[in-house]
Amino acid sequence: MITFPNAKINLGLNIVARRPDGYHDIETVFYPVPLCDALEIVPARGGCTTLTCYGNKVDCPPESNLVMKACRLMQQHCSEVGPVDIYLYKHIPDGAGLGGGSSDAAHVLLMLNAMFALGLSKQELACMAAALGADCAFFIYNHPLMATGIGNVFSPAQVNLKGMTLLLVKPEVSVSTREAYARVTPAPAPEALATILSLPVSQWCNRLKNDFEPSVYAQYPSLRSIKSAIEQAGALYSCMSGSGSSIFGIFDSAIMAEQAARQFANIAHFVITLQA
């Protein structure tokens, strides 16, 4: 079996409160983006499960990879799941706030569920995914969702960007999520996220915010410069995704997005037509 785990962006990210357990309550909308890795799972040739990675470098041993953790979790949960060989081609940039590793893990659960005819519901799979990471469960559903709690409590999101063009820029800078949270002072959002997202995209500027941006931009001014360049190139809206370091711009013209991308010839970037 082969599938193509996709990325996500965050539309707004409010860090509302610090929890007693050390995590943070947030409000955000996860929005799927068709920038994909490739994932293949086949019955193991030998007697044990293996993971082979290609493409972008993955800086962790196989057993520490979320893909292997997802497989081990499913094998512990369901005795029907035998040894498999997993092949992962990494295309989604790491350390970008795009959820690539979480998506890979969630898709492992979905694939094993189908491959071994386990009959687990999406709700059951999402509960398993949540044990792997706060945003893993989103990729089980994989359509626009409002996320609260630590990012694992979902409700419908009334936003549709289908047909718009996304310019996604990922510089070499990597941002530690833990450090990003440490630099933010949680506070309730002044305006409801759902209210802002009900407006035309052109009205999101200065209203739809990512609470990570001020502290991350102070530490990495080049990211602020990328956002400004995207805005000046005609984006309806631009923001950092998650805790960074990718910056995206939403355009209503594919031609304008392609023209804007030319200034980032020496930086990893992607021009993507949104499908959801």
Q: At residue 61, does pLDDT exceed 90?
A: no
Q: What sign results for the dihedral spanned by CA atoms 9, 11, 15, 20?
A: negative
The rounded distance, in Å, linking the Cα atoms of 116 and 20 is: 39
Give the pLDDT of residue 95: 86
Q: Which two tokens stand for residue 154?
A: 């979902």
Q: At residue 8, does pLDDT exceed 90?
A: yes
Q: Which residues are catalytically annotated?
A: 8, 135
Strands 38-43, 50-55: pairing is unpaired
Q: Using an 8 Å Cβ cutoff, are 52 and 88 in contact? A: yes
pTM given for the model: 0.94
Instruction: Tell me the average pLDDT of the chain.
Output: 94
Q: At residue 217, does pLDDT exceed 80?
A: yes
pLDDT tens digit sequence for 99-121: 999 999 999 999 999 999 999 99
Q: Which two tokens stand for residue 228?
A: 């400004």
Backbone angles phi, psi at 75, to 5 degrees: -65, -35
Helices (H), 18-115: 66-77, 100-115
Residue 8, classed as helix, strand or coil, is: strand
Give the pLDDT of residue 177: 82
Give the pLDDT of residue 142: 96
Residue 244: which pLDDT band, with cuts at 50, 70 and 90?
confident
Backbone angles phi, psi at 206, to 5 degrees: 70, 5
Give the pLDDT of residue 11: 98
Q: What is the largest CA-CA distance in the chain?
A: 57
